[in-house]
Amino acid sequence: MSVHICDRCGDVTVDAERCHCMIAAAAPAPAAALRRPPAGVAPVRPGPRLQPAPHSDAAPPRPVPARRRTLAVRLHTPLPRVTVAQISGTLEESTAAVLSEKVTALFGRAVHIVVDLTGTATLTHGGVRVLLGLHREATGRGTQLHLTRPSASAGGTGRKLLDRLATDRLIRLAPSADAVLSALSGGPSRTSATS
């Protein structure tokens, strides 16, 4: 058995077979092709034969890496047994591990945890799912988790979802961390008086 590679199209044939391009070139033109087109219609001439693009040994272009999204969580304790977690950056499922790790470490140590979302640049549905999971876990462990309303400039679809959950009374959203601290201390907010 002999294998032949066509010089014209690159197809592989076995033994004495002829390549399809050689058969087509050797076949006589059908009678219909010899007829003239009707009057007023320009004749159609075959165009140049398109050759496949040559294969390159160069590596394919590398994809541009996606912009890395980050989340920063800053913890501070303005009142005894009350911790505020200030969030900045993008809160989504892929970045929420930072928040989950820091907040779950506070369960049992802090009676109240305030998650301040006012510095969040982007909040997605995945980020809201993580917040709801933290809320459920905190309640089960005897800690009260307070969520603040994200700023109006926060991007993503999570802000509207949080508003809808608050409207349905599934969660409570405070206007700010200062409002929560004021309610917990029984007096006016300490930080809003200085700003």
Instruction: Render pLDDT for 77-115 as a digit per residue (tens, 0 to 9).
Output: 999 999 999 999 999 988 988 999 999 999 988 999 999
Region 50-66: mean pLDDT is 60
Q: Which CATH architecture does the domain made up of 71-194 adopt?
A: 2-Layer Sandwich (3.30)
19-48 mean pLDDT: 59
For 146, left (φ over 0), alpha (ψ -120 to 50), or beta? beta
Domain ranges of the chain: 71-194
Dig out the tokens for 34 from the structure: 């010899």
Quick one: pLDDT at residue 170? 83
Beta-carbon contacts of 170 under 8 Å, excluding residues fewer than 6 positions away, are: none
How distant, in Å, are the alpha carbons of 17, 26, 38, 111, 120 from that of 77?
84, 89, 91, 11, 20
**Stated pTM of the model:** 0.61
Residue 193 banded pLDDT, cuts 50, 70, 90: very low
Of the candidates 116, 124, 185, the residue with the CA atom closest to the CA atom of residue 145? 116
CA-CA distance, 172 to 147, in Å (whole number)? Answer: 7
Quickly state the pLDDT bin for 192 (edges 50, 70, 90): very low
pLDDT value of position 138: 93
